[in-house]
Structure formats: structure tokens, C-alpha cells
């Protein structure tokens, strides 16, 4: 699959006739009595997804020109040294998924190789500025049922037009020109036994593997079948890692022994008292080693180790040097670090993954002041009134009629009804005050398509938006229903949206903005919904229209925010001809920029009228469109 990427999510508006478009905008802005620069730039467009991943758990780095690409646990970004800014990348930008395991740069193809924890592979081609251009996905390994065990890559080596990916199950060869898997080497141990491969290096006419049984070597030639275990021999049997050095290798064993291998001879160099877990080349004759979580610099000219100590360096994972000789370090605690300005500083984007980490759907107060609490101990729901009376709501007629005592989430809607999510769907208490009245207070089950609403789903999260619509999180994605749960408005999963995972933990909404924050098992994202809280007045100063003006390259939904509740909205041209009409969800209405006939609106000024429940109609805003 090929995905083309936009540049840093900036506008790509490039009109063919700049003069006339600029003139149109100036004339329109004068008619609107506003300037272009005063438009509502802070508004998040309707339907926009945003990510809030952790960018401090860094684990791998690739450097291309002035861009430092960094992989974190669930995030991915690059730091632009020239612009002095970080740019986040995610599924929103065309990545196949989240959870990148390793990254490597193929110089000949100007391409980043991204391997995921699932076995998925993305080839990200870069442009002349080393920014993402397009992505090709290779999912064969991920989808393969013949490979058992882990599909997480241990290391990536690039040689000419091929990439060698080391896995626990063997070695995968990737053709970077054809963008396909060329071949797979497995069972390369003595007598054809299965071995884990940790790293690959090439020296002269030989290929070397760091494996679970030591260092294995074979001749790297077209007439040698590398898939046959008999063509491989063992150099040493100690658990080791390796790196290319001059015309040979540096071999670092877990025991702390550092050896050199040249001209077929293995010689001792140095001995550390710490367990070595990683060694890689930095620049010239310098290498970095990670031993017992400590970063060390190995100088092969002086045959010395130097420990790198800094308060910022707490959990070093990988280090590279840029063209200026400055170090860039992936630290699992403090993100992307560098001594670019002398002392080590953090160059990761802000991590906002802890937003909304405290749930508010376990304890909910209804309109009568009764407190509803999810009961983890006894199951069901414990309700307590203002007189300290308590009642346990559980299964069975007359006892609350829950479908299950496993209650996951509670939400009070705008009509005062209590919605309850369980491991067997959703139920509703239409009059929560009845719990202590002595009258029937059993919940009812909404019906959707002749079945119990999400009856076969574990509903883990509930959210109510400004239009009283119900956002329902499950282990299989998100379902958005209308106010009474009888109509499905939208369904989001990780396959059709930027959701990082289908397993939803929590949903919360910002009533004034329409942002829906969704916490999953793999991170936090938000979606700009089409509903907000309504206002009490139809005054023009309350209404925000965005984007305004609408430029030729805009293809999304136009938001009209700050309306009275569920207002009837009409859009006309400057002559009063009806162009479009709709109904607001709460305080927001949306327009796709097309007429009632389905044609794109012409360049001009459009008037927006809003009518309240009494039918009182008011001009609330004006909108400029440039076709």
C-alpha cells in the first residue's frame, strides 16, 4: 500500500493564479469587515484527529541531513535542527500503525525502514529536505501464520539495495528497490537447529551474525546458499554482539570481554566488569557500548573506555553522531537527548499522554443528588442518596435488572438518564430518582437493529456530547449513537481511523470545543466531533465559523459553533437564495461546502441564519468561500 504524506500538516494551497485569488480574499475580507490574519486559527477542524503519545520513552534513532528521527514506545517524531522544532508523525500522517520497534536509513534509496512490533514494515521515502514524502507498506511478515513467536525485529543492516532484518526466528532479506521480501533464512544453527539472530554485519566477502549460540559466519557470495546451515560456521559460542571495525569486527560479549576479529583471528582487547548489551559505531574509531545501563565510549585508537555521565542520561538505548560530531541519544526515560548546545538537553516534543488519566465515570451524581458508584467488590452499582440511604443495584427484575454485575462505566446524559456500560452491553435508568421511591426502577435495554444495544460487547467507556449523543468505547473500537441509542452515527476502529488500539479504556469530552478524548491501551488520541454545548443566545458575537475564509484546497467540514441548542441553520448566498440547511448537534452545525444539489459552493459571501425552538430566526454570521 502506498500513502502520500503532506508536509508537516501545513497548507499545500498553491493557486494557479495567485493575483486573482489574493484579490478575491482581500475583497471578501473587506466585505466581512475582518482581516485574513484575524481568522480563527486556533479552531481544530471538524473531523481532525490528534495524538498525545509518550515521547520520552525513546529507543532508536536515525539521522538524515539535519533531521533526527526518533522512535519511542508508541510515538515517532523528528527534530529539525535547522528549524529548531519537533514534528510528530503517526497514523494520521500515513503510518500503518503504532509501536515501531526499530528504524534504519537506506542511503541509496533515501528511505527510512520502519519495523513494527507486529512484524509490519513501512518504507518511508524522504524528499530532498529529508522530510517524509510517501510510504509503502509491506505486511507479508505480519500476516504470515507460518512464523511462530515474536515478530519484533532485533536489528536492521543495510547493504546496497538490500536490508537484512534480524529476528528471533531468523533473518529476513528485504529488497528495497522492489519493495518486497526477497527471502528468509531460518534454522541456521549447528545441524539446522533454530537460533535467534540479534544482529548482522558485513566485512569484505563475509556475513556475520550475532546469535543465541554465539557469532556465526558465512561467505557472502552469489554462489553460496545462505539458507543452508552447513555453509555457516561458529567463531565463538559466547553470547555476544558485534560491530564492523576497519577490515574486521569488534565483538563485545555479555561477560564484558571486548575482542577484535581481523584476518580470521580473534584477539582480546579490553575487559569490562559490567555486562555488555549493545555496541555500535559512532564516528571514526569511536564506538558506544551500553553496559549495565551505563553509556560508555570506546576509543579503538587509544584502547580506552570513557563513561558518559549526565543527569539527563538515565536509561540509554542508542546513540548516533551527526555531521558536526554532536551526539544524539535515545533515552528511555528522558526521550531524545543531545549535547548539541554543550550539556545534554531534551529535544522530544511535550508528552501529554497523562491527560485525563483519572477517570470520572466510576462515581456519578444524578440530578436528584444521588451518588452512583461502580462497585468493584460486590459487583453492580451502589447508590447513595443525600440522607445516606444506600441501595445495591444488581441483576434481576426488581433489583435493577442489570445484564451483568460487571459494570465498567457510568454516564449521566442531558435528559438526566443514567447510562451504564457492562460486559454485556448498555442499559439505561430513565428515571434515576426512582431508586429510593419504592416504585419500579429497573433499567431498560436500548434496541438497535432488533438486538440489545452492543449486547455482545464489553462497553468500557461512555461519553455524552453536546448533542446528547452517546460515545461508547469497547474492546473493538468506538461506537457513536444518537441520543436514544437507536441509530449508529459512526464507528471508529484502528483499521479505519488513527485509533492506536481498538481496546478503549476511557472517553471524556470537552463540551465547549467538541473534542472527544479517547484513552486506549496504546495511548491517548482526540477527535474533533460535530457537537458542542449550546449557548442561550443567538447573538452574532457568540458564533464562530471555521475555517473562514474557506480556501480552494479545503475539503473537510465547515464548523458553525456557538449556536442555541439543536438550532435550525440555513445558509444563503448574498442575494438570499437558499444554498444549504441543516440541524445543529447541541451548539454546532456543520456544512460540507456544497449546495443542496451537491455542487461545490461558488466564490462569494454566504450568510448564516439560525432559528431557535420558537422559530425565531437571526443572522448569526457570514462566511467567505474561494472556489
- Span 605-619, average pLDDT: 89
Q: What is the largest CA-CA distance in the chain?
A: 92
Q: What mean pLDDT value characterizes the chain? A: 90
State the cell numbers at 552: 480552494
Contact 499, 493 (CB under 8 A): yes
User: What was the pLDDT predicted at 18?
Assistant: 39
User: What was the pLDDT predicted at 279?
Assistant: 92
The SS3 assignment for 190 reads helix
User: What was the pLDDT predicted at 108?
Assistant: 97
Q: How confident is the model at residue 614 (pLDDT cuts 50, 70, 90)?
A: confident
Map grid coordinates 431498560 to a residue: 444
* Dist CA 370 CA 376 (whole Å): 19
Residue-wise pLDDT tens digits, 171-213: 999 999 999 999 999 999 999 999 999 999 999 899 999 999 9
Q: How confident is the model at residue 275 (pLDDT cuts 50, 70, 90)?
A: confident
- Span 58-75, average pLDDT: 97
Q: Is the pLDDT assigned to residue 500 strictly greater than 60?
A: yes
Report in angstroms the alpha-carbon separations of 365 from 361, 375, 388: 10, 15, 14
Length of the chain: 627
Q: How confident is the model at residue 36 (pLDDT cuts 50, 70, 90)?
A: very low
Angle at Cα 624 formed by Cα 620 and Cα 626, nearest 5°? Answer: 160
- Span 394-413, average pLDDT: 96
Q: What DSSP designation does 45 have?
A: P
State the cell numbers at 421: 456500560
Q: Which residues pair with 321 in a beta bridge?
A: 327
* Dist CA 356 CA 74 (whole Å): 18
Domains and CATH numbers, the chain: 1-46+538-627 (2.60.40.10), 50-346 (2.130.10.10), 363-528 (2.130.10.10)
User: What was the pLDDT predicted at 298?
Assistant: 92
Going by C-alpha positions, the residue among 590, 503, 603 that lies closest to residue 552 is 603
Q: Which residues pair with 469 in a beta bridge?
A: none
Q: Is the pLDDT assigned to residue 24 strictly greater than 60?
A: no
* Dist CA 150 CA 115 (whole Å): 13
User: What was the pLDDT predicted at 432?
Assistant: 95
Handedness of CA 451, 457, 460, 466 (dihedral sign): negative
Q: List, as one string, the DSSP characters of 336-380.
A: EEE-TTSS-EE-SPPP-TTTT-S-SSSEEE-TTSPEEEE-TTTSS
Contact 287, 280 (CB under 8 A): yes
Q: Is the pLDDT assigned to residue 478 strictly greater than 60?
A: yes
User: What was the pLDDT predicted at 20?
Assistant: 38
Q: Is the pLDDT assigned to residue 136 strictly greater than 90?
A: yes
Q: How confident is the model at residue 2 (pLDDT cuts 50, 70, 90)?
A: very low
Amino acid at each position: 500500500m502506498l500513502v502520500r504524506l503532506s508536509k508537516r500538516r501545513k497548507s499545500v494551497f498553491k493557486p494557479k493564479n495567485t493575483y486573482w485569488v489574493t484579490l478575491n480574499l482581500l475583497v471578501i475580507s473587506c466585505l466581512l469587515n475582518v482581516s485574513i490574519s484575524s481568522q480563527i486559527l486556533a479552531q481544530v477542524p471538524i473531523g481532525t484527529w490528534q495524538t498525545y503519545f509518550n515521547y520520552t520513552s525513546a529507543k532508536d534513532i536515525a539521522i538524515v541531513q539535519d533531521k533526527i528521527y526518533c522512535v519511542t514506545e508508541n510515538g515517532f517524531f523528528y527534530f529539525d535542527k535547522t528549524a529548531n522544532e519537533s514534528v510528530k508523525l503517526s497514523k494520521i500522517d500515513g503510518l500503518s500503525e503504532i509501536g515501531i520497534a526499530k528504524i534504519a536509513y537506506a542511503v541509496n534509496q533515501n528511505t527510512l525502514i520502519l519495523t513494527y512490533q507486529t512484524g509490519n514494515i513501512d518504507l518511508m521515502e524522504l524528499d530532498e529536505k529529508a522530510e517524509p514524502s510517501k510510504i509503502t507498506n509491506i505486511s507479508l511478515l505480519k500476516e504470515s501464520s507460518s512464523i511462530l513467536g515474536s515478530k519484533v525485529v532485533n536489528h536492521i543492516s543495510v547493504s546496497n539495495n538490500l536490508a537484512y532484518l534480524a529476528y528471533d526466528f531468523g533473518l529476513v532479506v528485504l529488497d528495497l528497490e522492489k519493495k518486497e521480501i526477497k527471502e528468509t533464512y531460518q534454522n541456521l544453527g549447528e545441524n539446522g537447529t533454530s537460533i535467534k539472530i540479534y544482529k548482522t554485519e558485513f566485512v569484505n566477502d563475509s556475513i556475520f551474525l550475532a546469535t543465541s549460540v554465539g557469532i556465526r559466519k558465512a561467505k557472502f557470495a552469489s554462489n553460496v546458499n545462505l539458507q543452508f546451515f552447513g555453509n555457516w560456521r561458529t567463531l565463538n559460542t559466547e553470547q555476544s554482539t558485534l560491530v564492523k571495525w576497519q577490515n574486521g569486527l569488534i565483538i563485545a560479549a555479555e561477560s564484558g570481554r571486548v575482542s577484535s576479529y581481523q584476518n580470521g583471528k580473534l584477539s582480546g582487547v579490553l575487559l569490562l566488569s559490567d555486562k555488555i548489551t549493545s555496541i555500535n559505531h559512532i564516528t571514526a574509531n569511536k564506538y558506544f557500548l551500553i553496559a549495565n545501563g551505563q553509556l560508555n565510549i570506546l576509543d579503538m585508537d587509544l584502547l580506552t573506555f570513557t563513561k558518559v555521565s549526565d543527569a539527563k542520561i538515565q536509561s540509554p538505548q542508542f546513540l548516533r553522531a551527526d555531521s558536526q560530531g554532536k551526539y544524539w541519544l535515545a533515552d528511555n526515560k528522558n526521550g531524545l537527548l543531545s549535547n548539541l548546545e554543550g550539556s545534554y538537553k531534551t529535544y522530544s516534543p511535550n508528552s501529554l499522554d497523562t491527560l485525563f488519566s483519572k477517570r470520572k465515570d466510576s462515581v456519578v451524581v444524578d440530578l436528584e443528588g444521588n451518588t452512583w458508584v461502580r462497585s468493584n467488590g460486590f459487583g453492580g452499582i451502589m447508590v447513595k442518596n443525600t440522607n445516606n440511604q444506600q441501595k445495591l443495584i444488581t441483576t434481576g427484575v426488581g433489583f435493577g435488572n442489570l445484564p451483568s454485575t460487571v459494570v465498567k462505566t457510568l454516564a449521566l446524559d442531558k435528559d438526566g438518564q443514567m447510562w451504564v456500560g457492562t460486559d454485556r452491553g448498555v442499559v439505561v435508568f430513565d428515571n434515576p430518582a426512582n431508586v429510593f421511591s419504592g416504585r419500579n426502577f429497573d433499567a431498560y435495554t436500548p434496541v438497535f437493529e432488533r438486538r440489545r444495544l452492543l449486547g455482545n460487547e464489553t462497553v468500557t467507556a461512555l461519553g455524552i456530547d453536546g448533542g446528547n449523543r452517546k460515545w461508547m468505547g469497547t474492546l473493538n473500537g468506538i461506537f457513536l449513537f444518537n441520543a436514544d441509542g437507536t441509530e449508529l452515527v459512526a464507528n471508529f476502529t484502528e483499521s479505519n481511523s488513527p485509533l492506536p488500539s481498538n481496546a478503549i479504556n476511557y472517553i471524556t469530552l470537552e463540551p465547549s470545543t467538541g473534542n472527544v478524548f479517547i484513552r486506549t491501551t496504546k495511548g491517548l488520541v482526540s477527535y474533533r466531533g460535530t457537537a458542542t454545548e449550546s449557548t442561550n443566545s443567538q447573538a452574532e458575537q457568540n458564533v464562530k465559523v471555521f475555517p473562514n475564509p474557506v480556501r480552494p484546497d479545503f475539503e473537510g467540514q465547515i464548523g458553525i459553533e456557538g449556536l442555541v441548542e439543536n438550532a435550525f441553520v440555513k445558509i444563503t448566498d448574498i442575494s438570499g437564495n437558499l444554498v444549504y440547511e441543516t440541524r445543529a448537534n447541541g451548539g454546532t452545525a456543520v456544512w460540507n461546502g456544497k449546495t443542496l444539489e451537491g455542487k461545490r459552493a461558488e466564490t462569494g459571501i454566504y450568510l448564516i441564519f439560525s432559528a431557535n425552538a420558537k422559530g425565531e430566526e437571526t443572522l448569526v454570521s457570514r462566511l467567505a468561500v474561494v472556489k
